[in-house]
Amino acid sequence: MVKRKIIWSPRAKIDQFKILDYYFKRNGNKTYSRKLFKRFKNATNLIVKHPEIGIRTDIKNIRNLIEGDYAIFYRINPNTVEIITIWDCRQDTEKLEYR
pLDDT tens per residue, range 11-40: 999 999 999 999 999 999 999 999 999 999
Neighbours of 57 (CB within 10 A): 13
Q: What is the pLDDT of residues 33-77, one digit of tens each?
A: 999 999 999 999 999 999 999 999 998 889 999 999 999 999 999
pTM comes to 0.86
Residue 84: C-alpha distances to residues 32, 63, 73, 87 (Å): 23, 10, 5, 10
At how many degrees (to 10) do helices 10-27 and 31-49 cross?
150
Residue 65: C-alpha distances to residues 10, 25, 53, 96 (Å): 19, 26, 7, 15
Domain spanning 5-95: which superfamily?
Answer: RelE-like (3.30.2310.20)
CB-based contact 96:86 (threshold 8 Å): no
